Chains A and B, each alone.
Chain A
Amino acid sequence: DVKVTQSSRYLVKRTGEKVFLECVQDMDHENMFWYRQDPGLGLRLIYFSYDVKMKEKGDIPEGYSVSREKKERFSLILESASTNQTSMYLCASSLPRGMNTEAFFGQGTRLTVV
């Protein structure tokens, strides 16, 4: 059974704090994604990684950075949390090519910045 696991389901942080969101997958997928989900805005891509130490900016990278030191782990970092970063964060992973490129999602982290 495929698994993408996010380290926290709920998180409350203060404005200005550095925040780490962790994601681990056990499917040996090359691709990993961080999305932000807000009502009416769908799933917006923050960052994407297609290999260890490789990353690409998504549509809304401002205020975020990422780290992928190992294939199975992809971290999202909020350098200085702000209230407008209060949101649901979803991690996903997939194979890059072939017939089965389904993206598998984690359970989500609901982050509140106060």
Chain B
Amino acid sequence: GENVEQHPSTLSVQEGDSAVIKCTYSDSASNYFPWYKQELGKRPQLIIDIRSNVGEKKDQRIAVTLNKTAKHFSLHITETQPEDSAVYFCAASQGGATNKLIFGTGTLLAVQP
């Protein structure tokens, strides 16, 4: 089955700096890669996703890149703000009829003011 690895487990940046979180997946059949943000005491919420027919996607300060050959995908946050502090999870799924979603272990991002 699919295995998703995520690094780093913790990341501390200064406000205004960029943050990068990296994930690798094992199943070449996976074709959908979402990122979720979980603030303290709250439920995970989707912030951006990418499908395997696209190499990069951007939404304001957040971007995701995908390298299918290497089975890598990354989340990039620019101009970080204190409200970006949260746990971020990457995930992978094969889509299709069932869309079973497998998550990475999470990255705790702390943005220091």
Contacts and interface: CB of A to CB of B under 8 A. Distances in A.
Contact of B106 (A42, A45, A92, A102): A42
A75 interface: no
Contacts of B93: 101
Interface of A: 31, 33, 35, 40-45, 48, 50, 56, 58-59, 90, 92, 94-97, 101-103, 105-108
A59 B89 contact: no
B54 interface: no
B99 to A, nearest CB: 5
B102 A59 contact: yes
Interface in B1-57: 1, 6, 9, 32, 34, 36, 43-46, 49
Given A59-B1, A103-B46, A41 B105 contact: yes
A9 B22 CA distance: 32
Interface size for chain B: under 10, 10 to 19, 20 to 34, or 35 or more residues?
20 to 34
Nearest to B105: A42
A58 B43 CA distance: 20
Interface of B: 1, 6, 9, 32, 34, 36, 43-46, 49, 89, 91, 93, 95-106
Given A90-B43, A105-B43, A105-B44, A43 B98 contact: no
A101 B103 CA distance: 15
- A-B residue pairs, 7 tightest by C-beta: A42-B105, A43-B103, A105-B43, A50-B98, A42-B106, A102-B46, A96-B99
Contact of A108 (B43, B49, B89, B98): B43
A41 B5 CA distance: 11
